[in-house]
Amino acid sequence: MELLDGKKVSNQIKEEITVEVTKMRERGEKVPHLAAIIVGNDGASLTYVGSKVRSCERVGFESTLVQMPSTTSEIELLRKIEELNQDDEIDGFIVQLPLPPQIDTQKVLLAVDPDKDVDGFHPTNFGKMALDMSTFIPATPFGILELLERYKVDTKGKHTVVIGRSHIVGRPMSILMGRKGWPGNSTVTLTHSATKNITQIISQADIVISALGVPNFLKAEMVKDDAVVIDVGITRVADDTKPKGYYITGDVDFENVSKKASFITPVPGGVGPMTIAMLLKNTLLARERHRNANR
């Protein structure tokens, strides 16, 4: 078994980005600037956004955190998005999901300028991704592709089973793994809550990508020998014995599945840190595109 070490690889990527940003500074160019909007006080979302902003500082990006109260109306959020769309200082921004119930997420995602949509959630960018055009690929699937590439995992002709059809992970992942090229060229099955015989389908997978959010869902007896196992689940489980009052766990029974898998991502330290690194990569790309457009 080889560990797909997202912590290590994400640090390498951040080093690579730092080198690029240093060159930009030395040339007297504007450095990338990422903004993040967060609405409300969800603990996990605040943690993620905090990590994103801290990572910006680490690689030398500018960053802006926009915190809005949970009572924010849709129109107030749309106005803020328009402000960031118009602000030439900002190269890319994200609206952290989920949003409070009074806000229509689809309307919000449509309002983001596709050229600043470093999450790759706007239909224009999602469509480009599906059509193999150059675009911002959503950070979590992008991070998984990067891990597969850096560990030289063979995906061609393999059966990839994706568990979960979310717009952020499962759906884009299923498209990307089926694309021509590497990593990709897989035969993909996208499973979800209405899938029949899900355990039988998973048992046929060469590559399992679980984005379900159910702790310990994937057990050793469900996966084939030498399967590649990617765990996208990040669930907080309450535990008074831990300093923070909870611990983080994935969808996979790591202790037992790792004995059978050829490659496996840990949680924490797998897909999570890769997501942040790829968001930074998309922001660097956004800056380079804006620079080239203004030449």
Binding site residue list: 164-166, 234
Residue 161 beta carbon to ligand GUN: minimum distance, rounded to whole angstroms? 21
Q: Which CB sits closer to ligand GUN, 30 or 100?
A: 100
Q: Does 163 bind ligand GUN (CB under 6 A)?
A: no
Judged by CB under 6 A, the stretch of 27-35, 93-101, 238-246, 254-262 that binds ligand GUN is 93-101
235 binds ligand GUN (CB under 6 A): no
Asked whether 177 and 199 are in contact (CB, 8 A), the reply is: no
**Which CB atom, from 21 or from 49, has the smaller least distance to ligand GUN?**
49
119 binds ligand GUN (CB under 6 A): yes
Distance, in Å, from the CA atom of 77 to the CA atom of 68, rounded to the nearest integer, reads 8
Contact 203, 224 (CB under 8 A): yes
Structure tokens given for 40 = 């409300």
182 vs 246 by CB, closer to ligand GUN: 246
Active-site residue, selected from the candidate residues 5, 14, 80, 96: 96
96 flagged as catalytic: yes
CA distance 282 to 14: 12
In sequence order, the 6+-apart residues with CB closer than 8 A to the CB of 152 are: none
Cβ-contact 81, 119 below 8 angstroms: no
Find the binder of ligand GUN among 21, 95, 112, 223 (CB under 6 A). Answer: 95
Whether 52 is catalytic is yes
Candidate residues 4, 84, 97, 111; the one interacting with ligand GUN per rule CB under 6 A: 97
The CB-side HSE value for 172 (13 A sphere, CA atoms) comes to 25
Q: Look up residue 179 and give its two tokens.
A: 């694309």
Q: Is 248 in the site for ligand GUN (CB under 6 A)?
A: no
Q: Within its chain, how far is the Cα of 230 from the centroid?
A: 13
- Phi and psi torsions of 109, nearest 5°: -65, -35
Binding to ligand GUN in span 192-231, by CB under 6 A: none
Among the listed residues 293, 273, 148, 122, the one whose alpha carbon sits nearest the alpha carbon of residue 208? 148
Residues tagged in the binding site annotation for NADP(+): 164-166, 234
Of positions 94, 112, 147, 202, contacts ligand GUN by CB under 6 A: 94
Tokens of 56: 């910006």
Q: In this chain, which of 55, 125, 140, 235 binds ligand GUN, going by CB under 6 A?
A: 140
Tell me if 125 contacts ligand GUN by CB under 6 A: no
Q: Is 267 in the site for ligand GUN (CB under 6 A)?
A: no
Does position 139 bind ligand GUN by CB under 6 A? yes
Q: How far apart are CA 116 and CA 95, in angstroms?
A: 11
Q: Which two tokens stand for residue 70?
A: 């949970």
Q: How many CA atoms lie within 13 A of 122 on its CB side?
A: 17
Q: Does 137 bind ligand GUN (CB under 6 A)?
A: no
89: Cβ contacts below 8 Å, ≥ 6 apart? 33, 62
Selected range binding ligand GUN among 11-19, 88-96, 157-165, 283-291, rule: CB under 6 A: 88-96
User: Does residue 84 interact with ligand GUN by CB under 6 A?
Assistant: no
Please give the residue ranges that form the binding site for ligand GUN (CB under 6 A): 94-97, 119, 139-140, 168, 275
Catalytically annotated residues: 52, 96, 119
